[in-house]
Chains A and B, each alone.
Chain A
Amino acid sequence: MTPGFEGSFLGAADKISSLAIMECKICWTPYDPAMGDDTRQVMPGTAFLDLPDDWSCPGCSAPRAQFLVREDPGAPSAAVMAEMEARTKALVADFTEVFHSRMRDLPMVNQALHVQAVGFQPYEGGFLGVLVAPWFMNLVLLPGPERAVLKVGTKETVTFPSGAYEFMHAAREMVGPYMACALFSPMGDFTSQLQAVEVARAAMGELFRVENRAETDRAADIRALREAELAPVAEPDLAPSRRKLITGGLGE
């Protein structure tokens, strides 16, 4: 059976944690493990998965499988999302501070814009997204613990489906080490924050599409072709053999 637009948990016990707060998809009655269920005298602290098999919605008697996840603080992804939110928040706070303290009176700054983190998503243990600011728009990689921290200004190539991008290592007091790849700067051509965010969001999508690869100098291709030109020419075997001599070459 393909669920189509199902959305409910359908008994997928491996997808939810014991802390998951569930909600009936028909009458929106929630089940919170912290509260239990008075109707069936389920003690507080009972996980949704530990409810009796014949348990149904206390509001409308819908079957247990028809419940949706409302929120799942115990899911592994929730911890990641919380970390992502904290780190992007620090990023935005840090660059907002830079704007107010050092950038706001420079003529190249676009006063219509403000600092915003767009489209952040987990990437290789870290987080990847676009940082929009009144003076730049960068792809920003907040690195995971296993990525080496290099000196500010060092370039490192990160490969996405659309091509290889050079990210520059940098660090800020609040953000810690991060890597950035410039998309726009200065930002004079954006007329509104909405427009800049739209472009940032599009960039995050297009980054993962193969057809957006640009042409390179093809130096390696050229070298390979040149070396192939110089490749050995098949030398005819000129050594005399008894068989050749007798058959006059017909026996080959």
Chain B
Amino acid sequence: MSQIETFYEVMRRQGITRRSFMKYCSLTASALGLGPAFVPKIAHAMETKPRTPVIWVNGLECTCCSESFIRGAHPLAKDVVLSMISLDYSHVLMAAAGHAAEAALEEAIEKYKGNYILAVEGNPPLNEDGMFCIVGGKPFVEQLRHVAAGAKAIISWGACASYGCVQAASPNPTRATPVHKVITDKPIIKVPGCPPIAEVMTGVITYMLTFDRLPELDRQGRPAMFYGQRIHDKCYRRPHFDAGQFVEAWDDDNARKGYCLYKMGCKGPTTYNACSTVGWNEGTSFPIQSGHGCIGCSEDGFWDQGGFYNRLTNIKQFGVEANADQVGMAAAGVVGGAVAVHAAVSALKRAQKKTQDKVEG
């Protein structure tokens, strides 16, 4: 295993003075809400603690994932980027460009072989040998395979990397393919959404760094703590759904009263994401709260699931973590104690609050 440098060593190597380093530490302290007394402690941690190298590659995408990520507030994205990981390669955030950038990528791969986390934003198109997306003069799919070979784990950011998103929508002329169908021999964690919520992105990455393992995943490979809950179940308009109070037309009286948007095509009942619990822009709002139905952007093939305003009709699913015996229960109509208990326990686990306010125990 190659020696991983500490944050301080990297900064020194990049020609940053000790004075600037201490100034940075005091900025971090204020960003974390800590007093000036913490500055030397942060400096100490940064001088001694090795960071986890992260390589962030971009394929066919729109950069909305990066845009979302840098707006993370809990924990602060800049805290994550600057003090927990070393973002050794990222088109969007790195200062280097051109050959220097590609050289940095090769250097990082070589140096941290088997130890780095690969974050993929966007997906590779496979048609015409991948010529529809060229990075550094070569097809992106080649870069992806090359970088993935030495990765410890892969994070698929966004609907593009997880499921294909708009570029993979029918008829998919470039044959854009999600990452897990190209890289099959590495642990992949999907963080879908268009884009994913900032706090979910930083939450996933800090979890992986802190506990040095992937969080619990659902059957589709998404972190269960953020994608285990249906928008519909945690929606603040849910009481209106229960009571059969629906918006019947845009801007009608019921819309002003904030009734349920199911009849206006809301995809909340089939969408698993943390929007209705975590919210967007530091929890300010989320689509339903601003009066528009959920479009289901974190679900597989959401561009091919009919219009945004078509009412859901065929919704027969227990949820993404439905397993064989639940399906069996639905098919055969078995009424068995164990099967019922299993269904009940998964429903309860889904319903539980997933954000932790205080340390347990």
A residues within 8 Å of B by Cβ? 95, 98-99, 101-103, 107-108, 133, 135-139, 152-155, 157, 162-166, 168-172, 180-186, 188-192, 194-195, 198-203, 205-207, 212-226, 229-233
Return the contact of B357 from the options A170, A181, A220, A232 (Cβ within 8 A).
Answer: A220
Return the contact of A216 from the options B41, B210, B245, B356 (Cβ within 8 A).
Answer: B356
Return the contact of A206 from the options B236, B341, B356, B359 (Cβ within 8 A).
Answer: B341
- Report the Cα distance A181→B348, complex, angstroms: 10
- Report the Cα distance A95→B244, complex, angstroms: 9
Return the contact of A217 from the options B245, B344, B355 (Cβ within 8 A).
Answer: B355
- A/B interface sample: 15 pairs, CB < 8 A: A95-B242, A101-B244, A102-B244, A136-B242, A168-B239, A188-B315, A190-B330, A192-B333, A195-B333, A217-B203, A218-B356, A220-B358, A222-B210, A223-B75, A230-B34
Bitwise, B247-264 to A at CB < 8 A (1) or not (0) is 000000000001000100
- Report the Cα distance A164→B354, complex, angstroms: 8
From residue 274 to 320 of chain B, which have CB atoms closer than 8 A to chain A? 277, 311-318
A169 near B330 with CB under 8 A, answer no
- Report the Cα distance A152→B357, complex, angstroms: 23
Can you name 13 extra interface pairs (CB under 8 A) apart from A166-B234, A214-B350, A218-B211? A99-B244, A162-B352, A166-B353, A189-B317, A189-B322, A195-B329, A202-B343, A203-B347, A216-B352, A219-B75, A219-B203, A222-B75, A222-B207
Known: A153-B237, A185-B269, A226-B210. A138 touches B242 (CB 8 A): yes
Return the contact of B333 from the options A185, A186, A191, A202 (Cβ within 8 A).
Answer: A191
B residues within 8 Å of A by Cβ? 34, 38, 41-42, 44-45, 49, 74-75, 203, 206-207, 210-211, 215-216, 224-226, 228, 230, 232-234, 236-246, 258, 262, 269, 277, 311-318, 322, 326, 329-330, 333, 335, 337, 340-341, 343-345, 347-360
A206 near B344 with CB under 8 A, answer yes
- Report the Cα distance A25→B31, complex, angstroms: 74
B215 near A212 with CB under 8 A, answer no
What residues on B are CB-neighbors of A98 within 8 Å? 242-244
What residues on B are CB-neighbors of A185 within 8 Å? 230, 232-233, 241, 269
B340 near A182 with CB under 8 A, answer no
Known: A185-B232, A202-B340, A230-B41. A191 touches B330 (CB 8 A): yes
What residues on B are CB-neighbors of A183 within 8 Å? 233, 344, 347-348, 350-351
For the complex of A and B, list the 8 residue pairs with the smallest distance between their C-beta atoms, beginning with the closest: A170-B239, A102-B244, A188-B316, A202-B344, A182-B233, A214-B349, A203-B344, A163-B352
Known: A202-B340, A214-B228, A215-B216. A136 touches B38 (CB 8 A): no
- Report the Cα distance A184→B346, complex, angstroms: 10
A186 near B41 with CB under 8 A, answer no
B348 near A207 with CB under 8 A, answer yes
Give the shortest distance, in Å, between A173 (CB) and chain B (any CB): 10
B348 near A217 with CB under 8 A, answer no
What residues on B are CB-neighbors of A191 within 8 Å? 330, 333
- Report the Cα distance A231→B45, complex, angstroms: 9
B45 near A172 with CB under 8 A, answer no
Minimum CB distance partner of A169 in chain B: B239
What residues on B are CB-neighbors of A189 within 8 Å? 316-318, 322, 326, 329-330
Known: A217-B354, A222-B207. A195 touches B340 (CB 8 A): yes
